[in-house]
Amino acid sequence: QLRACVEAILKQQGDNKPLGKHWTTRFVKRHLQLSTKLGKRQEAARFDGFTPKAVNWYFDIRETEYGWIKPENTVNVDEGGIMAGFGHN
C-alpha cells in the first residue's frame, strides 16, 4: 500500500518514473519509526454481512446523514490507517 500511495503522489506531480524493485524495503529501513503489519483473516460473519441489501441500507443512511459532504472532501481509510483514496484539496 505504501508503494501504491507514493507512486500515485509522484504521478500527480508529473513524475512517471517507476520506483525501484527494493524501494519499499529500503524506505522502511531508512525510517525506523515505521513498522510493518501483517494482515489478518476476516471473520466469516463480516463476509456474510456484505450483501446487496446491507450495502443499499448503508448508502441510504449515509446519504440521509452525510449527503451534504462533497465527494471531493472525503477519503477512505482502512482499519490499519492507510489512506486508500485520494481527495482533492
Annotated domain spans of the chain: 2-73
Look at residue 20 in the predicted model and tell me its pLDDT. Answer: 94
Look at residue 81 in the predicted model and tell me its pLDDT. Answer: 54
Give tens-digit pLDDT for 21-79.
999 999 989 999 887 777 777 777 777 888 899 888 988 998 888 888 887 887 776 66
Look at residue 26 in the predicted model and tell me its pLDDT. Answer: 94
User: Please, are residues 23 and 7 in contact by the beta-carbon 8 Å criterion?
Assistant: no
User: Please, are residues 88 and 72 in contact by the beta-carbon 8 Å criterion?
Assistant: yes
Q: What is the mean pLDDT of residues 3-8?
A: 90
6: which 3 cell numbers? 507514493
Look at residue 37 in the predicted model and tell me its pLDDT. Answer: 74
Look at residue 85 in the predicted model and tell me its pLDDT. Answer: 53
Residue 74: which of 64, 62, 85 has the closest Cα?
85
